[in-house]
Amino acid sequence: MSTDGGASGGTGGGPQIHIGSISGGSQAFGDHGKAESVNYTAVPAEPGYGELLTAVRVLRTELGQREERTAESEALGAELAEVEGEIARTGRSAQGPLTRLRDRLAAYGPAAATAASVTAVTQAITQLLG
């Protein structure tokens, strides 16, 4: 990249920029230019964890649509978020978070959302934990 002003042999009229190519990153031009870049890294889920991730997301969505919020639903939401985040970051989840989520679902799950969503998450955890 080079900038040429009138004094350095440019065509006059202010700075000029000559770019051969740009790859990766964000660029902005002009007085009010603004560039933002957001990068995501996808981690493929290990076998069985993809199914659990989908079931967890469905249940979290259902919980989020409920008008009534209780301490139990908030705690369940936090457990679901932990497992979802761990699978999204690493492609799997450790036994501890899965066990806590399974136990919370057993104690509170039927009141949390539809039985189908709770059952899907519970079955996926059972297959992974054995």
The residue count of the chain comes to: 130
pLDDT at 18: 64
pLDDT at 42: 63
| Tens-place pLDDT, residues 24-78 | 666 777 777 777 766 555 667 788 899 999 999 999 988 888 778 888 888 888 9
Read off the pTM: 0.62
Contacts of 74-79 with CB under 8 Å at 24 or more apart are: 75/104, 75/108, 76/104, 76/105, 76/108, 76/109, 76/112, 79/104
List the one residue out of 60, 74, 75 whose CA is nearest residue 113. Answer: 60
| Tens-place pLDDT, residues 85-128 | 999 999 999 999 999 999 999 887 666 567 778 888 999 999 99
